[in-house]
């Protein structure tokens, strides 16, 4: 039976607040659950699979069942609205009772540390990129159990569109990026080329071939397939790591990029600079045949670097971009590879490795998001496969895995602090806060424990970071990335909670005074 673990640590993990907000799923072979629980889980999975093209998003049924059970709450005890109720029956009393019913349920799915666990799926390719990293680093079998792999396959099949491809997100039309990467992930997880419900794998392969094959994948996919050796680095537009050596006032210095893009581009440029590739296996050789419409050895990689499926081309390249890429490809890369100029690349790679290690350390290996973590983890392994840093990285993979009735996916991140801030503000605005004091108290404790108490270590300004002490992250404090609007909403919650406590004392004092009269 799957168990949702809240605020629990483990080997190779560190925390500044006893792991408050951490969510992980573990499969307990010794606890099979009751027959009613198993039936409810199976029914929710079957219902989602049946209606997956109509209802795209899961409802976190598995998590809510466990949380409600832990809080001794049963939906059978919940008073149901009358079936014959009409609009004329709606008044202040009925609205208030409906609000109370909703908040009783909402309180029942609150975790013991004060937050509300839930899904945060994001792009459909993040699961695939993590699978590729674990396969290349030979960590797939040790990090993901057979039950994990089974649920991830369930998720990928459930998210497949009717035409055989996968969209950029759950409601998106099929794209080459998600289709090629998710097909690859399923094969790495052990699925055969002709496996899957309703011939899912052949349908996916047909979609990929009908749209030009994997050479039409955009640059992010080209990088990941190159790492896996199903693509060639010579088919990727240049991402010179030497840009990292430029002074910070230069506009094209990667440190000036938006944080999420910065933490993706810099490790990608590191992998490009090293031309890092994983091992050749029989499966990799098979994928070369399955993903491409031409024999692998006959593909024109110089031409392939400019190809992109129309489904993935949101904005065509300008002539200036094409000219710059051609110059870097034809003249820049050969020049930078020559001695003594090649020293610059080695220096840039060393500086990027130090930069990524710094980011890993101060984020406790959670990183800013799942896509960036996968890249940083691969860079870490390429530096030293047996390092303690890589073991710290592996221990944090579980933080990104989320299980629903649709299967298990790699979340972009989680939004614990963000969700709690708005949840508490909504409860306080409902004029029923006195009845849910325990819920508010736990939420307030979570927000207090989730405040970031330190700035990034060392000379953080040189690492393109800002002060974070006193702020709040989007997810947990251990991650350390402060966000302005998350800080504002959490601070508002603290002020509201303070006002609520003052009002509560006045109400209790008035109640006591009336009893004495």
Catalytic residue numbers, as ranges: 485
Q: What are phi and psi of 167, to 5 degrees?
A: -90, 170
Q: Which residues pair with 401 in a beta bridge?
A: 410
Angle at Cα 349 formed by Cα 347 and Cα 353, nearest 5°? 120
The 3-state DSSP class for residue 182 equals helix
Does an H or E element contain 409, and which? Answer: strand 407-410
Structure tokens at 270: 């590191």
> Could you say which DSSP state residue 324 is in?
H
Q: What are phi and psi of 368, to 5 degrees?
A: -80, -25
Q: How far apart are CA 377 and CA 367, in angstroms?
A: 10
Q: Note whether 345 and 210 are within 8 A (CB).
A: no
Half-sphere exposure in the Cβ direction for 480 (13 Å, CA): 22
The 3-state DSSP class for residue 486 equals helix
Burial class (CB within 10 angstroms; exposed 0-12, middle 13-18, buried 19+) of 446: buried
Q: Is the dihedral of CA 169, 184, 271, 379 positive or negative?
A: positive
Q: Is the dihedral of CA 75, 27, 154, 199 positive or negative?
A: negative
Whole-Å CA distances, 41 to 10, 68, 151: 27, 14, 13
Q: How far apart are CA 382 and CA 184, in angstroms?
A: 21
Return the closest-CA partner of residue 416 out of 107, 7, 14, 21.
21
Structure tokens at 334: 């050969």
Q: How far apart are CA 197 and CA 195, in angstroms?
A: 7
Q: How far apart are CA 405 and CA 388, in angstroms?
A: 35
Cβ partners under 8 Å of residue 8, min gap 6: 19, 22, 24
Q: How far apart are CA 67 and CA 112, in angstroms?
A: 9
Cβ partners under 8 Å of residue 106, min gap 6: 116, 423, 427, 439
Q: Which residues pair with 174 in a beta bridge?
A: 167
Return the closest-CA partner of residue 176 out of 128, 112, 121, 227.
128
Q: How far apart are CA 249 and CA 79, in angstroms?
A: 63
Q: Helix 282-291 crosses helix 219-228 at what angle (to 10 degrees)?
A: 150
Structure tokens at 232: 């060639």
């Amino acid at each position: 039976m799957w168990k949702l673990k809240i605020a629990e640590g483990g080997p190779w993990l560190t925390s500044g607040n006893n792991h408050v907000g951490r969510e992980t799923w573990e499969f307990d072979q010794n606890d099979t659950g009751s027959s009613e629980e198993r039936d409810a889980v199976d029914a929710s999975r079957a219902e989602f699979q049946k209606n997956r093209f109509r209802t795209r998003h899961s409802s976190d049924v598995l998590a809510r069942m466990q949380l409600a059970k832990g809080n001794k709450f049963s939906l059978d005890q919940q008073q149901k609205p009358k079936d014959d109720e009409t609009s004329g029956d709606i008044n202040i009393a009925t609205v208030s009772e409906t609000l109370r019913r909703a908040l009783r349920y909402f309180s029942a799915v609150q975790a013991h540390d004060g937050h509300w666990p839930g899904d945060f799926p994001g792009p459909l390719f993040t699961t695939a990129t993590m699978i590729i990293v674990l396969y290349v680093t030979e960590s797939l079998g040790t990090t993901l159990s057979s039950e994990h792999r089974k649920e991830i396959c369930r998720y990928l099949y459930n998210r497949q569109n009717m035409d055989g491809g996968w969209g950029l997100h759950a409601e998106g039309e099929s794209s080459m990026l998600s289709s090629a990467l998710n097909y690859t992930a399923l094969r790495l997880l052990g699925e055969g080329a002709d496996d899957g419900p309703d011939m899912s794998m052949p349908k996916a392969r047909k979609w990929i071939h009908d749209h030009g094959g994997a050479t039409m994948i955009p640059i992010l996919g080209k990088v990941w397939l190159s790492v896996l050796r199903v693509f060639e680095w010579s088919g990727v537009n240049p991402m010179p790591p030497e840009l990292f050596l430029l002074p910070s006032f230069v506009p094209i210095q990667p440190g000036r990029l938006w944080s999420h893009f910065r933490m993706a581009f810099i490790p990608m440029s590191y992998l490009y600079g090293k031309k890092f590739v994983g091992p050749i296996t029989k499966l990799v050789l098979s994928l070369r045949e399955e993903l491409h419409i031409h024999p692998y050895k006959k593909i024109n990689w110089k031409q392939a670097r400019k190809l992109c499926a129309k489904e993935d081309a949101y904005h065509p390249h300008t002539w200036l971009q094409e000219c710059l890429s051609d110059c870097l490809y034809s003249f820049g890369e050969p020049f930078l590879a020559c001695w003594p100029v090649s020293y610059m690349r080695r220096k840039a790679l060393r500086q990027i490795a130090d930069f990524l290690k710094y980011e890993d350390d101060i984020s406790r290996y959670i990183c800013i998001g799942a896509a960036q973590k996968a890249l940083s983890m691969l860079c870490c392994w390429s530096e030293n496969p047996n390092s303690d840093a890589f073991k710290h990285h592996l221990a944090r993979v579980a933080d990104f895995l989320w299980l629903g009735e649709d299967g298990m996916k790699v979340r972009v991140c989680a939004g614990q602090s963000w969700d709690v801030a708005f949840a508490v503000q909504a409860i306080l605005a409902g004029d029923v806060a006195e009845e849910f004091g325990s819920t508010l108290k736990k939420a307030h404790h979570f927000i207090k424990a989730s405040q970031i108490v330190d700035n990034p270590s060392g000379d953080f300004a040189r690492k393109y970071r800002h002060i974070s002490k006193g702020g709040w992250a989007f997810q947990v404090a251990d991650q350390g990335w402060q966000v302005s609007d998350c800080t504002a909403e959490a601070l508002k919650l603290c002020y509201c909670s303070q006002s609520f406590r003052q009002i509560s004392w006045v109400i209790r004092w008035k109640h006591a005074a009336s009893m004495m009269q």
